[in-house]
Structure 1
Amino acid sequence: MNRMFVAVIPPESVIEDLDEFLSVRRDAASFRWSAPDQLHLTLAFAEHVPDRSLDDAIERLETAAGRRTPFELTITGGGAFPNVAEGKVLYAGVETDAAEELDRVAAGTRNALVKAGVEVDGGRFRPHLTVARTGTPVELSNWVRLLDAYRGPAWTVSSFALVHSRLGEGPRKRPVYEVIAEFPFG
């Protein structure tokens, strides 16, 4: 069994910009901050991907990507899950003029996995990049306001990736992410 997710991975320059914005603020809270190389926009998450389903999933994801067209995306604003008053996850938001296309990309990846016999976790798609986890519920409204002041550079999303997530195998027990395959649009 493999723990995997399908994600849009921002280009290095976009991640560097967000990381620079956050780096001077990280010492103000003892959150578990996401490592810059782990920032991504999850489209679909599957806790258990059977080995027997992997080839079919890859084929179906390739087909799903082929049906999509590139679009512009910007990391901007922020929020907290489950809410700002009792947040456990602090995230950066995204903005696009192609919200319907982004929703179609997410739905297509979820459908591809399900048709390959993979159970997809999570509820409704809510586009975001997790920047920190708190462990216990924390009032995060000041942090959300801070992220609301952030607007990163726009970039063209033209692919998504299938990523294998190995929990606790990285430095300081962080997960290790390995891109299994990248799927270009069109």
Structure 2
Amino acid sequence: MPTDSATYRLFFAVWPDEPCARWLDEQVEHLHHQYGGRQTPPRQHHLTLAFVGEVAHSQLTIVEAIGRQIAAQAEPCRLKLDKLAVWPSGIGCAAPTRTPTRISQLASALNAALKAQGLPYEERRFRPHITLLRKATPAEDAPATPDSFALLKIDHLSLVVSRLTRSGPLYQELRRWHLGPIQDGS
């Protein structure tokens, strides 16, 4: 049982469904072949909507309440992952050419709610992407446009804890909420 002094490194995210996860697995192999780096393990791929950071155990229920409330107010949508990038920071990722307004609004709502509660939140502009590589060697030329694309279903919101290990971060879903109001009945 965690003590009151325990802290969690938290973020809100969306996990890909199986078809999207398979597409991401193909793209990570392609990027790794061209740019090297350390591959993100397949079952760790996710879209971060809001990075919370270090939160005390005593604040966990507040963060969970934010997730539950924002998820209930959000509408499901899809994100078309149709480009690959390797950023100067060495991050290789899959990203959208265009970001739907609903996804930007979801990220903004989460950060605004965190800020209102005096919790850590991100101030930088939301830039949706799924990290596939870390410590990749950036090149002057952008990666080739993939031959296909994936649709990431944004139909849930997950609260995730990140644990840093020698081999990289490991992510564990703590809570999951479906987007939209809770339906009565089945």
Where on the TM-score scale, by shorter chain, does this alignment land: which range? 0.7 to 0.9
1:158 maps to amino acid: D
Partners of 1:50 and 1:89 lie apart in 2 by 29
What residue in structure 2 maps to residue 68 of structure 1?
A: 74
TM-score (norm. length: structure 1) = 0.82
- Note the 1:48-127 alignment, pairs <5 A: 48-81=54-87, 86-94=88-96, 99-121=100-122, 123-127=124-128
Partners of 2:55 and 2:147 lie apart in 1 by 36
1:165 aligns with 2:167: no
CA RMSD between the two structures: 2.2
Does the 8 A contact of 2:21 with 2:42 survive in 1?
Answer: yes
- Note the 1:12-51 alignment, pairs <5 A: 12-23=18-29, 26-51=32-57
Indicate the structure with greater helix content.
1
Partners of 2:104 and 2:31 lie apart in 1 by 32
TM-score (norm. length: structure 2) = 0.82
Shift of 1:49: 1.1
Describe the superposition over 1:125-169 as per-residue Cα deviations: whole angstroms up to 9, x where unpaired: 11111111127xx43344x322x225323243211111000000x
Q: Segments of 4+ in structure 1 off by > 6 A?
A: none
Describe the superposition over 1:46-104 as per-residue Cα deviations: whole angstroms up to 9, x where unpaired: 221111111011112111111111112221102343xxxx34212111256x7111111
Structure 1's unaligned 5+ residue stretches are none
Identity %: 25
Partners of 1:20 and 1:160 lie apart in 2 by 25
Shift of 1:23: 2.2
- Note the 1:138-177 alignment, pairs <5 A: 138-142=137-141, 144-146=142-144, 148-168=145-165, 173-177=167-171
**SS of corresponding position for 1:149:** coil
Structure 2's unaligned 5+ residue stretches are 1-6, 181-186
Does the 8 A contact of 2:81 with 2:94 survive in 1?
Answer: yes
Q: What is the total number of aligned residue pairs between the two structures?
A: 174
